A = this chain, B = another copy of it.
Amino acid sequence: MEMSDVGVTVKKSENFSEWYTQVILKSGLADYAPLKGCMVFREHSYAIWEKIREIFDKKIKEKGHRNAYFPLFIPESFLKKEAEHFEGFVPECAWVTIGGSRKLEERLAIRPTSETIIYKMYAKWIRSWRDLPIKLNQWCNIVRWETKATKLFLRTREFLWQEGHTAHATREEAEKEVMEILEIYRDLMENYLAIPVLVGKKTENEKFAGALYTTTLEALMPDGKALQMGTSHNLGQNFSKVFEIKYVGKDEKEHYVWQTSWGISTRLIGALVMTHGDDKGLVLPPKIAPIQTVVIPIFYKEVEREKILEKAKEISEKLQKNKVLTVLDDRAEYTPGWKFNDWELKGVPLRVEIGPRDLEAGQVTLARRDTFERIVVKEEEAVKIVNEVLKEIQKNLYNKAKKFLDEHITTVKTYEEFKKVLESKGGFIRACWCSNTECEEKIKEETGATIRLIPFKKEKVFSNCVYCGKEAREVVYFAKSY
């Protein structure tokens, strides 16, 4: 197979959407499933998901959360209990109507989210203040029957996620939980995925169906569209009232619990691809890369073979021992050049080459995936410098993305400006809003942009409402989005 067949054949800057799909398919991250709207998470993307899972799982377990697993099936009557929730999710449910050879009496939704089935259990388990808080999380598959065009990782009928569900004695505790989780998400996104995010509240219109309010983390993709990276909801007592989740307090009276729910999904992998990828393929931040370095032996004559292979093995073992996730690519059936391209396509942050000249000089050559810079280092310093360079790559990827984000937040005062910026540059548009849903909806209708978030720290109003021109009540961030 020629590399020209397998490499990415379009430029990121020229056809972003086609580039995105090619990178995913050709790097072996994922594939389309042989049924409409579904995808296969191949080993490369699943390994990234395992890393995300490991990082997040550790952090929530340290905070006392535990994992559990609730049924895939949700009876329609459960979904109906909370009216907003029902309205929000029913249009995109897949329904099981036959079990074995029998028609079911009540149809069952494949979970589009699990609030209702989980809270049915919470109502059973929670009796007294001693049972609180409950802080459970589940890692599972989710089904939403999308009808728009499939977009790998971003819009598929099935995806993977985690959903946390907590119940607390007081409103304050629930509020604290919402913000603590948001902070863990932010840390994961910025310090591991190297994707900077804006955080804030959703408007009434954009909040989770059934929540009191929704907090969100929004990233900006290179095509100027925002991507919702995760959400953390304060459910208030909306669900506890309909599901009768009550506890007897220290005051010996009955109270409804206060609840939160929150989730991140495999769409984060889509964000990784878009944010860091380049014309050669994927670029993975070292802290999330399942393989951080690949060691490639290079020899032209058969006589060099054994010694170089031995040295390559030695170095890759040294790296592994020092907890650098390393693969030695000693496959005989491919040339070094083919391997370079292949691992670049797959986004491995750092390549370690060992050729005849390196061997002779007691050195190795490092090649950075992010900048393509080549660095010759003494063999005995290899581990130390590999670690340093990996840290630099991590930082560099974040900084590049942060610079892009910062340069794509534009403050506007008029609707004309708003539309011009949206068309020409995209990104986040910072504007004043009167807080009326009507203006929000008109803007969406006319431009496709929605309010991505209201910053937590109220920013100072600097103009009238960008749409109606009446008095504005707050500063919000608009964008087109995935």
What would 24 A/B residue contacts be, using CB atoms closer than 8 Å? A31-B124, A31-B125, A33-B117, A34-B117, A34-B121, A35-B73, A35-B108, A40-B70, A40-B71, A41-B69, A42-B68, A43-B67, A46-B67, A46-B68, A71-B158, A72-B110, A73-B157, A93-B100, A94-B96, A94-B99, A94-B108, A97-B98, A99-B145, A140-B141
Task: Indicate with 1 or 0, residue by residue over A52-87, a CB within 8 angstroms of chain B CB atoms.
Answer: 000000000000001111111101001000000000
Q: Contacts of A96 on B, CB cut-off 8 Å?
A: 94-97, 110
Q: Verify if A412 is at the interface (C-beta below 8 Å from B).
A: no
- State how many angstroms separate the Cβ of A124 from the closest Cβ of chain B: 7
Could you say which residues of chain B place their CB within 8 Å of the CB of A35?
71, 73, 75, 108, 117
Given A41-B68, A49-B69, 8 extra CB contacts under 8 A: A33-B117, A35-B108, A43-B66, A71-B158, A72-B158, A95-B96, A99-B145, A100-B147
Assembled-state Cα–Cα distance A71/B42 (Å)? 11
A33 touches B95 (CB 8 A): no
CB-CB under 8 A from A34, the residues of chain B are 75, 78, 117, 120-121
Q: Distance in Å from the Cβ of A413 to the closest Cβ of chain B?
A: 41
> With A68-B42, A92-B100, A95-B98 in contact, do A73 and B121 touch (Cβ < 8 Å)?
no
Assess whether A416 is interfacial by the CB under 8 Å rule: no
Interface residue ranges, A against B (CB under 8 Å): 31, 33-35, 38-43, 46-47, 49-50, 66-73, 75, 78, 91-101, 107-108, 110, 117, 120-121, 124-125, 130, 136, 140-141, 143, 145, 147, 157-158, 160, 333
CB-based contact B69/A40 at 8 Å: yes
**7 tightest A-B CB contacts, nearest first:** A43-B66, A41-B69, A95-B98, A99-B145, A100-B145, A38-B71, A33-B71
A40 to B119 alpha-carbon distance, docked (Å) = 12
Residues of chain B with a CB closer than 8 A to A136's CB: 43
Cα-based distance from A117 to B31 in the complex (angstroms): 13
Smallest beta-carbon distance A169→chain B, Å: 14
- Interfacial chain B residues near A110, Cβ < 8 Å: 72, 96, 110
A2 CB, nearest partner CB in chain B, Å = 14
